[in-house]
Amino acid sequence: MNLNFSDEQNLLRDSVSRFCTSDYDFETRMKSVNSDSGFSKEHWKLFADLGWLAVPFDEELGGLGGDVLDLSILFEEFGKSIVVEPYLANVVLAGGVLKRSGFDKKDEYLSSIVSGEKQFSLANYEPEKGYNLENIETVLDDKGLLNGSKSTVLNAPNADYFIVFSKKGGDFCFSLVSKDAAGLTLKSYKTYDGFMSGELTFENCKPEVIIQEKDALNNLEEVMKDAIVCISAEAVGAMEKCYRLTIEYTQQREQFGSPLSKFQALQHRMVDMFMETEYTKSFLLKVLATEDRDEKTKLIYGLKNQISKSGKLVGEEAVQLHGGMGVTEEMSVGHYLKRLMVIANIFGSADFYLQKYINS
Amino acid sequence: MDLNFSKEDLDFQSEVREFLDKEYPKHIKEKMDNGDDLTRDEIVEWHKVVAKKGWMGHSWPVEHGGTGWDATKKYIYLRELAMEGCPMFIPFGLQMVAPVIWTFGSQKQKDYFLPRILNFDDWWCQGYSEPGSGSDLASLKCKAEKDGDEYVINGQKTWTTLGQHADWIFVLVRTDDSGKKQEGITFILVDMKTPGVSVKPIITIDGDHEVNEVWFDNVRVPAENVVGEPGQGWTYAKFLLFHERTSIAGAPQLRRGLRGLVKRAEKIFHNDSPLSEDPFFKSKVAQIELDLSALEMTELRGLAAEREGKGPGAESSLLKIKGTELQQRLTSLALEAAGHEALPFGGPYGFKDQEVSSSKAAQLTAAKYLNFRKVTIYGGTNEIQKNIIAKAVLGL
């Protein structure tokens, strides 16, 4: 048993951590959030230059050949600064599907993710269809035309290409749709934690190419498991930042002639936040260290349940202990809560995954 | 002990329903049911409708124009309004400053302000908290100096709810800093139009502009606007806070909110069956329902005690804690239920003109969840309420 990270992994953590602490303060983040694209193109270029966009991809693509463990290192650091750049959408979701597909030109598209030249979105969920991945209606018909609609398409307003999950014949498939395709309509919005997202409608829309026709659902399931681990790691980072911000704030905020941090009732609350964070980090590491595929899958469902509860608890406590200031837009702590609540409920709630855990 | 309504109570319930049926303005009802924000004029209009009926003073003594209802009637009345989804009464005049004025104010103040409050001619707001004085309210620094028959106020208040709409503000000011911090605080009424008063918005995490900073720059106020004795403001401030806390438990609103959520859940699918049939969801709903029953009964007990002249005491802290915790559980469950459909956000960022397919009710759950983080903080944080119970009720 080895609970240590490799030298490469430590280097990656240091490099991401350095960027987040020195170049990604809260004001910088909010500038990105409030911009039209919802992220900073300079940061994105930097991510590409530093090789971060290549982490999970093959070495021929300039990648590190990394897996979800490497991604989780990066996401935990991102979580501490609630980085809003569309890493999840491009690299983990769209890139993850491409990587696992048998598509013969996938390297060409993956290269454009790695270089940061092109933006991608994965479109699999549908309006009011819930979280079961196979519960979709969008169809790629015999004439090769897509019809249907997609929601929660993260990064959609920025995407050059959409990777669309649909039915085809009696099976599922992935196809690649250009943003300029005829018959495609995009509705853009920002999510309440400041990320870009959108809805797509396809009316006899012709994809550029079919990426995968066999085992597409299986591919999607694997990708979503990676995504859950990534946002869980992000949540752990955000939770850590939450209790640290709270300690800092209560140490400097004085009421009744003494710093708030001196009140025992509040100290215990911060201890609970700390314990919850460490406990969740342990769960995450347990998932990462598990090799048996079925066992790992079950634990990932459990992780999503755990992260939804603990992220909510720590985020809410952080806001509460900041008092009135905690609910203001100008303070960062409320934005951590927003991100943690989105993580808690995206791709399925705590209850949804508890049910999956029980049934698997 | 009888928990059943008498014939008279039931008749009264019908009367309230009939009133709402006929007089609750349709355009306001539509907006409320839709979750749309009301304009200032619409909020005033609603209050005037109630005032015209003579039902504004539901918790006021008869001699000041109150209804003189017993606890049951008041309970029925407030519940019917809440279940119909009527706008909440703006409490700052009606439930907060009015009891202070009729208990401690001068005859002139009573004669001038009380009828205007009852008729909603003036919109009141609250000048209590300061950036450095929240939980420790008595440490407040906003200063008022006597100059002839005027006070000159300098300083800043914060978290002033709907101050942007207000005509008047009641302010706690420091008129003396030589003694203990609780001494030397004065309760004074200030016309918001007085030169030197300025209001600055605070945007909260739900993207809303509900609270404000209120600044006082050499604001000259007639000394006759002091309520009660100068320097005794802390006593009045605490008296007011007890009144504030009983009015924020919100049991009927919770009842309505829960009912709405359960109904929506019939059409929400997280997996293959409706959420309303999901055992985990049902268990959460049931637990909220059970707590709500206890909260309602606690509220009723409070109303009964008040009716017997015991007035709201430290027990109001219990209502405040339990009520606000439930409000947060409900808004959090609603957000969870809405799931992905809650993600599109109007707020400060959103693409407001874009129509996305998720329903407005679902989209509002995020804003509401975020907005309701304040309830365990305002009116004295729940931590402070626990201190009050420990000290004043348990004698610790």
Structural domain boundaries, residue A260: 217-359
CA atoms of A268 and A65, how far apart (whole Å): 43
pLDDT digits (tens, 9 = 90+) for B204-257: 999 889 999 999 999 999 999 999 999 999 999 988 877 665 555 788 889 999
Q: Assess whether A174 and A272 both reside in one domain.
A: no
What are the tokens at A47?
């991510």
Taking CA–CA distances from A356, the nearest residue in chain B reads B271
Per the prediction, chain B carries an average pLDDT of 91
Q: Give domain status of residue A1, yes or no.
A: no
Q: Assess whether A354 and A228 both reside in one domain.
A: yes
Which band of pLDDT confidence, cut at 50, 70 and 90, is reported for residue A1? low
Quick one: pLDDT at residue B98? 96
Residues of B in contact with A342 (CB under 8 A): 343
Q: Quick check: A302 pLDDT over 90?
A: yes
Q: Does A36 touch chain B (CB under 8 A)?
A: no
Residues of A in contact with B381 (CB under 8 A): 320, 323
Q: Assess whether A150 and A70 both reside in one domain.
A: no
Arithmetic mean of pLDDT, A192-217: 96
- The amino acid occupying position A130 is G
- The yes/no answer to whether this complex scores an ipTM above 0.90 is yes
Q: Assess whether A92 and A163 both reside in one domain.
A: no
Q: Which CATH number fits domain B124-232: 3.80.10.10, 3.40.50.720, 2.40.110.10, 3.30.565.10?
A: 2.40.110.10
Closest CA of chain A from B184, distance in Å: 17
Arithmetic mean of pLDDT, A72-87: 98
Mark yes or no for CB contact A337/B373 under 8 Å.
yes
Q: Assess whether A155 and A64 both reside in one domain.
A: no
Q: Assess whether A334 and A228 both reside in one domain.
A: yes
Closest CA of chain B from A329, distance in Å: 5
Q: Quick check: B152 pLDDT over 80?
A: yes
Q: Quick check: A95 pLDDT over 80?
A: yes
Quick one: pLDDT at residue B317? 87
Q: Assess whether A209 and A261 both reside in one domain.
A: no
Q: Quick check: A234 pLDDT over 90?
A: yes
Q: Assess whether A89 and A173 both reside in one domain.
A: no
CATH number at residue A104: 1.10.540.10
Q: Does A242 touch chain B (CB under 8 A)?
A: no
Percent of chain B having pLDDT more than 70? 93
Residues of B in contact with A130 (CB under 8 A): 269-272, 339
Number of domains in chain A: 3
Q: Assess whether A222 and A353 both reside in one domain.
A: yes
List Cα–Cα distances, A77 to A20, A40, A71, A234, in angstroms. 7, 18, 10, 7
Residues of A in contact with B269 (CB under 8 A): 128-130, 135
CATH topology assigned to domain B248-393: Butyryl-CoA Dehydrogenase, subunit A; domain 3 (1.20.140)
Residues of A in contact with B328 (CB under 8 A): 316
Mark yes or no for CB contact A191/B139 under 8 Å.
no
Q: Assess whether A105 and A171 both reside in one domain.
A: no
Arithmetic mean of pLDDT, B38-58: 96
CA atoms of A79 and A13, how far apart (whole Å): 12
Where does a domain end: A214, A229, A264? A214
Where does a domain end: A214, A231, A263? A214
Tell me which residues of chain A, numbers 337 to 356, contact chain B at a CB-CB cutoff of 8 Å: 337-338, 341-342, 344-346, 348-352, 354-355
Quick one: pLDDT at residue B34? 84
Question: Which of A199, A257, A334 faces B205 most closely, judged by CB atoms?
Answer: A334
pLDDT digits (tens, 9 = 90+) for A118-149: 999 999 999 999 999 999 999 999 999 999 99
Quick one: pLDDT at residue B314? 74
Q: Assess whether A60 and A135 both reside in one domain.
A: no
CATH number at residue A187: 2.40.110.10
Mark yes or no for CB contact A192/B367 under 8 Å.
yes
Strand ranges inside A24-125, DSSP E: 120-123
| Three-state helix/strand/coil letters over chain B | CCCCCCHHHHHHHHHHHHHHHHHCCHHHHHHHHHCCCCCHHHHHHHHHHHHHHCCCCCCCCHHHCCCCCCHHHHHHHHHHHHHCCCCCCCHHHHHHHHHHHHHHCCHHHHHHHHHHHHCCCCCEEEECCECCECCCHHHCCCEEEEECCEEEEEEEECCCCCHHHCCEEEEEEECCCCCCCCCCEEEEEEECCCCCEEEEEEEECCCCEEEEEEEEEEEEEEHHHECCCCCEHHHHHHHHHHHHHHCCCCHHHHHHHHHHHHHHHCCCECCCCEHHHCHHHHHHHHHHHHHHHHHHHHHHHHHHHHHCCCCCCCHHHHHHHHHHHHHHHHHHHHHHHHHHHHCECCCCCCCCCCCCCCCHHHHHHHHHHHHHHHHHCCCCCHHHHHHHHHHHHCCC
Closest CA of chain B from A110, distance in Å: 28
Q: Assess whether A282 and A228 both reside in one domain.
A: yes
Quick one: pLDDT at residue B75? 85
Arithmetic mean of pLDDT, A84-96: 98
Closest CA of chain A from B117, distance in Å: 28
- CA triple A177-A183-A185, angle to 5 deg: 80
Model's pTM, two decimal places? Answer: 0.95
CA atoms of A264 and A276, how far apart (whole Å): 18
Which band of pLDDT confidence, cut at 50, 70 and 90, is reported for residue B350? low
Domain boundaries of chain B, sorted by first residue: 7-89, 124-232, 248-393
Question: Which of B158, B269, B374 faces A128 most closely, judged by CB atoms?
Answer: B269
CA atoms of B40 and A53, how far apart (whole Å): 50
Mark yes or no for CB contact A187/B139 under 8 Å.
no
Integer distance in angstroms from the first to the last C-alpha of chain B? 32
Where does a domain end: A214, A239, A264? A214
Radius of gyration of chain B (CA): 22
Q: Give domain status of residue A2, yes or no.
A: no
